[in-house]
Structure 1
Amino acid sequence: MAIAGGGIRHHVKSKHKDEKPGGFYWQHYNRLNGYYNGVRTLVPWSQYRPENRYNITEPPRLITSKEAASLSPMPPLDPVAFNPYPDYGSYEYMKEHPKVARCYLDSEERVPAPDVYGYPGLPQNMSVPFYGSYQELEMDDEVCFDRFGRFGPYGYGYNYTQGGLGPGNFSENAGSEKVFEKTGIIDYTNMDWGRAQRACLQKNIGRFADPAKNEVADGKKKIKRHAYILRTWTGFYYNEHQIYSLRAMINELSLKSGGEYDVHFLLHVKNNSIPIWADKEVYQKTIEENMPREFWHMTTLWSEAQMELYYPPPFGEAFENRAGSGIHGVYRSAHFPVQWFAQQHPEYDFFWNWEMDMRYLGHYYEFNTALGNWAKKQPRKGIWERAERFYIPEYHGTWDNFTELVERENREAGREPIWGPVNQFPNSGMIPSPPETTPPRTYDEDNYEWGVGEEADLIVFNPLFDPSTTNWVFKLDATGYNTTLPVPPRRSAIITVARYSKRLVNVMHEETFRLRHTMFPEMWPPTVCLHHGLKAVYAPHPVYFDRDWEVNYMDKVFNHPQHEWESPFGWGEHNLLGSSFYYNSGFSGALWRRWFGQRENGEGGKTHEEKGTGRMCLRSMLHHPIKHERGALD
């Protein structure tokens, strides 16, 4: 579910300088086609040449079927297991950490948690991302994943009689047998992921930090634990492609990591009259009627009526309620059940707020770990100012160059940097900020030291922008404050997916239940961080575009809009239609379905792949939104 989607947001095609006759400016850029070069064009990293020319010259064209006839019918490289985990059995790891016990899918411990497979190379001329960076996040950008290596271990490519799910049986599959030779055919017929997660944790319980105790015990470093929360709802349809992704998430985050993560489904019961809290049988029946069997024992129910009891009214008026709905409704307060869930589970250090229309084409553990490690290394100095911009490596150069540029631009503009809690504004009261968020020195005295080594309280996937400088439709949806005073300073990040620290979610909860403060879901966690001096970052994950943008124009459009209506977080959001990650992206879903071998807009499908260069193989990337996954194979 994409909060703030639907009919309230729309694309306003006003006549302003972003637009040319016949379409928006960016629609005149050359289309990038290297995404669709298949596994028959794989080359080692040393031979790879991206197609991006940043609109300076015509980019290389898609390899035609005639040219493909000269290629080998099989992928020129063999898939290899992708393993982003620490070497748990090494002397170096065992010296500092407790032993990691192997985890299994079944209770008899005959089926170990499977590996996934990628190709050690890239399709020739595949595009590179326009903003974000594998290198900065220290992720592997020299490997690509096809649909068999990525999801074959989770039931893709074999039918129900073998314990699979069916799709993939009749798609182009040259060389896919090399994956199944290594993974085998896993029968998921009676899979119980909740049981498997609990068994894995029990085997490894000594690895993890007790939140009430020191992180080091018996001379060994304890690991912090994560709750990965998938917000779903009654009536949601789980297709086969969705289930592949969910299995991948649970296996890669929880079982393969020895219990570092637990994946949870937080199921919104839309019918408030169902007595889920009064009757255990009704509770279980509701789960069984709305969740696939394999996820029954990892599901928690909630309802809006319950939230009204947990955070009782009155809340006061909002400065503006453009949604026209109540404060306890999921549309305006999707964070309420996450706050509640965190209070019920103090054993977790971090809470990932995830949406059902997200997909990750890559390895979940590599991605999540890279984000956390990167965020932990970030200094506090300039952190808010960097987080409001898109990092475009082709334009900005290294991250250090980007950091210096942001600092210089802000000084030249005379902007006062954010340094510690932003709580000096007319308001109706706030809870005290954590004392450790007070800066140890002045901004100018700090040499990018404060915050280095500190876990991030908030990690988001789009920039943390100031809503007051945009015409974002929900910028004034702040509730519980004195509306006769100016609206408090705010920050927001489009799409509610994020990682919250326990410290952040506890402050959010305290502000809500003690003072009845809340804001629109995409605005509330960042604003709490702003007000209380918590550490918030926008992680520069790689984002691709369907066209070959000029990067100086991209920087102008995304980082330096001249008017509030030009912001990409308002009327300028049309600029993100061709991206791989944004709430309104059209390219993201189309690329995902093409990767799965489906026809999209008259292109792709089995015959196209067989006569061309084979099935697609893409680098790791985060997709949003995926509104459907059913397309014709031919």
Structure 2
Amino acid sequence: MMERVSSFLSARSSRSNSGTQSPLHEKSDSLLLPLPQAYSKSKAKLRMRTLLGNSLYRRLALWAIAIFMITSVLILKSGVRSMDNRGSQNVDVSDDDPPPGSPAEHSPEEDKQPSSLPSWIVYEHLNGYFNGLKSLVPLKNHTPEWPIPNYQGPIRSVAITSDTVPKPKIYRPQPDYKSEEYLSKFHPVEDCFLDEHNTPAPDIYAFDGLPQHQPNPAIGSYDLLGLRQDICFDRFSRYGPYGLGYGREEGGTGEGIDTDMTGASHVWEKTGRINYNSVDWGDAQERCNTRNARRFIQETDEDGVPIRTDDDKKGLTKIERKAVLVRTYVGFRWTQHVILNFRAMISELNLKSGGEYTVHFLVHVKDLEAPIWADPRVVQDILDANVPAEFHSICSLWSEAQMRLYYPGPFTAPFENPSKQDIHGVYRSAHFPMQVFALQHPEYSHFWNWELDMRWTGSYYELFDRTGEWAKAQSRTLLWERSAKYYIPPLHGSFDNFSRLVEKELEASGRQPVMGPALFPGRQPLFSETTGRDNLPKSCGKDKDPKLCGVGEEADIITLNPLFDANESGWVFSQDVTGYNTQLQLPPRRCAIVTASRLSRRLIMAMHEETWRHHHSMFSEMFPPAMALHHGLKAAYAPHPVFLDRGWDYKHIEAAFNGGRDGTSGGPGSPFDMKNEHNHKGTTWYFNSEFAGLLWRRWLGYPQMDGRGDNGGRAGQGTMRGGKAEEESDLSSGRLCLRSMLVHPIKFENPAERA
């Protein structure tokens, strides 16, 4: 999470990676198991001769040694893994539709594992991520390097399929707003522009096909969420329309000019190089929203129910508006790459969708004395010093002093406060300013919570729209249980097979499925609950098909990591629970690490009431999911594609990421336990990931240490690879081209920014 620093965390938690020092250049890792320490010479020694001198002692000792050796052999054969309370019997995939191939239960790499290193480090790095544009093949001809049946190791070469860089095509994941089908259901969409001179919002471009041998995701699925996986994006097809590849004097960013630009000019053929120097994104969004006002439900009640007006056109569906809230702060360093990212976000989510989404920045002002609610000059001075001018008009400033006014408490002592931070601070209560924003903006039905160091290589509209539609289509039946577990297609097979596995594991556990509001000692109701309002839809009635319960209902929370049971999970903040009776047991909690999520107005208003009325709160990643659990709201983890930098054994992935209670990601053995979080370092999506930044910077065209080295290699080790010379080489396959994927954290982009 953003700007989280405390002495506790730097000493005890891998969250220290979220600081300004990139994890790519760490030389050591506090999460790695330490080498065994030798006994001190001054320690008293128990001599074997003395122990065995007596015949009775000798027999007892020999029997003890024999029992120990037999027990050890049995344990080793049973496949017990450390930090996994389920042993090796992790997955039942005996149903129909098995996975497309599974490696042998014992991988030869396991024999290489040094005891002092994490288990995953023995697997070899994959090379296919770094194949480029000259190796593109259609999806039907694409053979992933991994995961595949009978995987033998990483590829060592790539076939060049073209001597030249192919041309990308315009990519529009939005609906065809001009089509007869669309216009028969919805109001017409008016075009939106960057400025008052009607400069069109640009399209992005994509390449047909994928680089040969580019790996497939280890976790999550493109097809499941409806994301295109037959196209890829290079840096210029993605960011060229927003100013990558030309100088600031032309209205660009000046970035990318020092990298390989072969064929990049194609993305400017229709629009030219757009001058962004005078763009005001607040004005652009406001004009777009005004032009398309009749398309949208303009106001909702406190539960997110649309308020209909007399001028609603009968027969045409109005659309709910959504806000994207990006948390930033005074002192954040806005680089040109950051600017590129948010130009793309606003253009794709607002201007290209006819105002369906509106992007806002929530700016944390650390000076508690600054009168940001009273003096416009103070506000302007803060913006001038901390935010690029093009984004000023979409900023909402807030401070902890304001949050104390909105939520004065009193807040009783928490069960635990390991960070020692204040309840009104952004560290423990990043949801407070979001709650206040929602109160002030009744026009929005849903709110995406987003962070500065997240990137998406494809269109933001495709990501947000498809995850929302997928969650809407999910049945509430066993949804909490499915959302508590990572979906690993190489092992679990189809999502239907995965769902059957979840059902079997639940039955075996003897636990009851979650349905409706949670009941627990000390629970306090909301106003709406005292009037008898039920948060379950009619489709969940007793006379209805359970499979259809909640199908077609918008999700109240959509997360991008599993919704795990925080109880006994080992997650450092699992007991940061405030305002509940500490003489009673902890209330039930769910959590999703990385706060990126979509929250409904109904959920945020429940959070608001719990905060101001009952004086309840929990740590930032835990409060929204826990409130959804307490009040019977619809919650879904959207299993988006997550990649690994190495070719893991499939069952090892399961043991590492679903090693918690009853085959889930929660409880004892959780991957979110501090002792287990190192497993995420080779993924593309987790706050301590090393691979995310390495892959992103290589994609941007910057040379990086490849992470190869002794004992399996780590970030910052190995050989410098990539960059202009390598990409332009006759032996190279060209610039990287990646499918849509989320990468996090991105703490810097151009290596020069680290100076």
CA distance in 2, matches of 1:418, 1:72: 54
Kept in 1, the 8 Å contact 2:32–2:116? The answer is no
Tell me whether 1:152 sits opposite 2:156 in the alignment: no
Tell me whether 1:577 sits opposite 2:681 in the alignment: yes
Kept in 2, the 8 Å contact 1:427–1:482? The answer is yes
CA offsets per residue over residues 122-159 of structure 1, 9 Å max, x none? 00100110111010001110000000000000000011
CA distance in 1, matches of 2:296, 2:153: 50
Tell me whether 1:389 sits opposite 2:498 in the alignment: no
Per the alignment, residue 85 of structure 1 pairs with 174
Tell me whether 1:21 sits opposite 2:111 in the alignment: no
Query: Residues 463-478 of structure 1: matches in 2 within 5 Å?
Result: 463-478=562-577
Equivalent of 1:49, from 136, 143, 149? Answer: 143
Per the alignment, residue 502 of structure 1 pairs with 601
1:470–1:14 Cα change, 3 Å: farther
CA distance in 1, matches of 2:604, 2:263: 47
Equivalent of 2:231, from 129, 143, 168? Answer: 143
Give the unaligned 5+ runs of structure 1. none
Per the alignment, residue 735 of structure 2 pairs with 615
Moved more, 605-614 or 258-267: 605-614
Which amino acid in structure 2 is aligned with residue 282 of structure 1?
Answer: V
CA distance in 1, matches of 2:153, 2:133: 20
1:53–1:284 Cα change, 3 Å: closer
Kept in 1, the 8 Å contact 2:208–2:231? The answer is yes
Which amino acid in structure 2 is aligned with residue 151 of structure 1?
Answer: Y
Per the alignment, residue 68 of structure 2 pairs with none
Moved more, 24-33 or 120-129: 24-33
Which amino acid in structure 2 is aligned with residue 536 of structure 1?
Answer: A
Per the alignment, residue 524 of structure 1 pairs with 623
CA distance in 1, matches of 2:496, 2:298: 36
Find the residue that maps to 1:500 and give its secondary structure: strand
CA distance in 1, matches of 2:686, 2:4: 12
CA distance in 2, matches of 1:564, 1:502: 29
Per the alignment, residue 345 of structure 1 pairs with 441
Kept in 2, the 8 Å contact 1:2–1:496? The answer is no
CA distance in 1, matches of 2:319, 2:127: 43
Per the alignment, residue 9 of structure 1 pairs with 13
**Structure 1 residue 458 displacement after superposition:** 0.2
Query: Residues 437-448 of structure 1: matches in 2 within 5 Å?
Result: 437-438=535-536, 446-448=545-547
CA offsets per residue over residues 462-499 of structure 1, 9 Å max, x none? 10001113111101000001111111010000011110
Tell me whether 1:229 sits opposite 2:325 in the alignment: yes
Find the residue that maps to 1:119 and give its secondary structure: strand
Moved more, 325-334 or 19-28: 19-28
Which amino acid in structure 1 is aligned with residue 409 of structure 2?
Answer: P
Kept in 2, the 8 Å contact 1:605–1:632? The answer is no
CA distance in 2, matches of 1:309, 1:343: 14
Moved more, 274-283 or 553-562: 553-562
**Structure 1 residue 99 displacement after superposition:** 1.0
Per the alignment, residue 320 of structure 1 pairs with 416
Kept in 2, the 8 Å contact 1:97–1:220? The answer is yes
Tell me whether 1:436 sits opposite 2:534 in the alignment: yes
**Structure 1 residue 551 displacement after superposition:** 1.4
CA distance in 2, matches of 1:203, 1:565: 53
Equivalent of 2:648, from 549, 560, 581? Answer: 549
TM-score, with length taken from structure 1? 0.95
Find the residue that maps to 1:263 and give its secondary structure: strand
Query: Residues 86-101 of structure 1: matches in 2 within 5 Å?
Result: 86-101=175-190
Tell me whether 1:566 sits opposite 2:631 in the alignment: no
Kept in 1, the 8 Å contact 2:33–2:118? The answer is no
Query: Residues 349-498 of structure 1: matches in 2 within 5 Å?
Result: 349-422=445-518, 424-427=519-522, 429-432=524-527, 435-438=533-536, 446-498=545-597
Give the unaligned 5+ runs of structure 2. 15-29, 35-80, 84-112, 301-306, 706-719
Which amino acid in structure 1 is aligned with residue 590 of structure 2?
Answer: R
1:444–1:391 Cα change, 3 Å: farther
Kept in 2, the 8 Å contact 1:73–1:174? The answer is no
Find the residue that maps to 1:117 and give its secondary structure: strand
Kept in 2, the 8 Å contact 1:460–1:493? The answer is yes
1:433–1:466 Cα change, 3 Å: farther
Which amino acid in structure 1 is aligned with residue 744 of structure 2?
Answer: H
CA offsets per residue over residues 44-63 of structure 1, 9 Å max, x none? 22221110045943344253
Per the alignment, residue 74 of structure 1 pairs with 164
Moved more, 13-22 or 78-87: 13-22
Kept in 2, the 8 Å contact 1:33–1:61? The answer is yes
Find the residue that maps to 2:693 and give its secondary structure: helix
Moved more, 351-360 or 560-569: 560-569
Which amino acid in structure 2 is aligned with residue 567 of structure 1?
Answer: S
Tell me whether 1:298 sits opposite 2:302 in the alignment: no
1:120–1:159 Cα change, 3 Å: same
Find the residue that maps to 1:227 and give its secondary structure: strand
**Structure 1 residue 332 displacement after superposition:** 0.5
CA distance in 1, matches of 2:140, 2:632: 45
Per the alignment, residue 692 of structure 2 pairs with 588
Find the residue that maps to 2:183 and give its secondary structure: helix
Per the alignment, residue 21 of structure 2 pairs with none
CA distance in 2, matches of 1:361, 1:516: 40
Kept in 2, the 8 Å contact 1:375–1:456? The answer is yes
CA distance in 1, matches of 2:525, 2:140: 56
Kept in 2, the 8 Å contact 1:121–1:143? The answer is yes
1:520–1:56 Cα change, 3 Å: same
**Structure 1 residue 438 displacement after superposition:** 4.4
Equivalent of 1:186, from 274, 282, 304? Answer: 274
Bigger Rg, which one: 2
Equivalent of 1:197, from 262, 280, 285? Answer: 285
CA distance in 2, matches of 1:249, 1:227: 12
1:367–1:625 Cα change, 3 Å: same
**Structure 1 residue 455 displacement after superposition:** 0.2
1:442–1:262 Cα change, 3 Å: closer
Kept in 1, the 8 Å contact 2:683–2:689? The answer is yes
Find the residue that maps to 1:425 and give its secondary structure: coil
Find the residue that maps to 1:469 and give its secondary structure: coil
Find the residue that maps to 1:349 and give its secondary structure: strand
Tell me whether 1:604 sits opposite 2:722 in the alignment: yes
Kept in 1, the 8 Å contact 2:147–2:490? The answer is no
Kept in 1, the 8 Å contact 2:124–2:154? The answer is no
Per the alignment, residue 637 of structure 2 pairs with 538
Tell me whether 1:35 sits opposite 2:129 in the alignment: yes
Which amino acid in structure 2 is aligned with residue 437 of structure 1?
Answer: N
Kept in 1, the 8 Å contact 2:32–2:117? The answer is no
1:54–1:549 Cα change, 3 Å: farther
CA distance in 1, matches of 2:741, 2:354: 24
CA distance in 2, matches of 1:197, 1:467: 39
1:565–1:572 Cα change, 3 Å: farther
Which amino acid in structure 1 is aligned with residue 293 of structure 2?
Answer: I
Moved more, 251-260 or 394-403: 394-403
Find the residue that maps to 1:332 and give its secondary structure: coil
Kept in 2, the 8 Å contact 1:458–1:500? The answer is yes
CA distance in 1, matches of 2:611, 2:218: 38
Identity of aligned residues (%): 48
Which amino acid in structure 1 is aligned with residue 471 of structure 2?
Answer: A
TM-score, with length taken from structure 2? 0.80
Which amino acid in structure 2 is aligned with residue 505 of structure 1?
Answer: I
CA distance in 2, matches of 1:544, 1:527: 28
Query: Residues 199-218 of structure 1: matches in 2 within 5 Å?
Result: 199-212=287-300, 213-214=307-308, 217-218=313-314
CA offsets per residue over residues 337-363 of structure 1, 9 Å max, x none? 000000000100101111111111110
Kept in 2, the 8 Å contact 1:30–1:58? The answer is no
CA offsets per residue over residues 360-389 of structure 1, 9 Å max, x none? 111000110000000000001001100000
Per the alignment, residue 101 of structure 2 pairs with none
Kept in 1, the 8 Å contact 2:453–2:747? The answer is yes
CA distance in 2, matches of 1:155, 1:254: 18
**Structure 1 residue 108 displacement after superposition:** 1.7
CA distance in 2, matches of 1:3, 1:341: 21
Find the residue that maps to 1:23 and give its secondary structure: coil
**Structure 1 residue 260 displacement after superposition:** 0.6
